[in-house]
């Protein structure tokens, strides 16, 4: 999947969760859990976002308000199909689990995804690799997939930059 598809998927995920909450801390935590759970299972994040550990929990390393505005402006019916069934299932589960005023607590975020957030000092980027338990039999395979995915995205980015 190319960068354009990744951007469309990110926009759709942001819009889905933004419809469920106005609380940016809750939105950030939902995105974090979705991304790190997806990485733990597939070697790829769902959104492509990086997260920084803060006192309030994991926060995307991006201007979330701008991303929400851009997603709303770019969104139309033609862009709705960019989310895999697996990602959509996890999104619906998270939306149901944390419906209304319920928000993932810091304790839940600390323990989610193999404690990746808890293992990261405040101010640092949270490494996706920390989401994979050391005793997981397919850990090496998942990390190999992640490395290959990073190479592919870097190659696509180089091609795009070369064309501009």
Q: What is the pLDDT of residues 96-154, one digit of tens each?
A: 888 877 777 767 777 778 788 888 999 999 999 988 888 888 889 888 988 888 888 77
pLDDT of the residue at 164 = 46
The radius of gyration computed from the CA coordinates of the chain, to the nearest angstrom, equals 16
Q: Output the pLDDT for position 49.
A: 93
Answer yes or no: pTM beyond 0.85.
Answer: no
The dihedral sign for the CA sequence 68, 70, 74, 79: negative
Helix (H), strand (E) at residue 29: helix 24-42
Q: At what angle do helices 24-42 and 3-20 cross, to 10 degrees?
A: 130
Q: Would you state the pLDDT for residue 78?
A: 52
Length of the chain: 164
Contact 51, 59 (CB under 8 A): yes
pLDDT in tens, 26-84: 899 999 999 998 998 889 899 989 999 999 889 999 999 999 998 888 776 555 667 88
């Amino acid at each position: 999947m190319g960068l354009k598809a990744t951007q469309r998927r990110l926009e759709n995920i942001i819009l889905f969760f933004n419809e469920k909450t106005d609380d940016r801390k809750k939105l950030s935590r939902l995105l974090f859990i979705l991304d790190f759970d997806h990485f733990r299972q597939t070697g790829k994040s769902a959104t492509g976002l990086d997260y920084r550990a803060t006192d309030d929990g994991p926060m995307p390393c991006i201007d979330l308000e701008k991303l929400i505005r851009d997603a709303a402006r770019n969104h139309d019916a033609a862009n709705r199909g960019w989310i895999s069934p697996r990602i959509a299932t996890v999104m619906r589960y998270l939306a149901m689990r944390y419906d209304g005023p319920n928000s993932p607590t810091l304790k839940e975020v600390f323990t989610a995804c193999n404690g990746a957030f808890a293992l990261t000092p405040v101010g640092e980027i949270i490494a996706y690799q920390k989401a994979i338990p050391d005793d997981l039999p397919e850990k090496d395979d998942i990390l190999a997939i992640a490395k290959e995915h990073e190479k592919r995205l870097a190659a696509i980015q180089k091609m795009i930059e070369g064309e501009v």
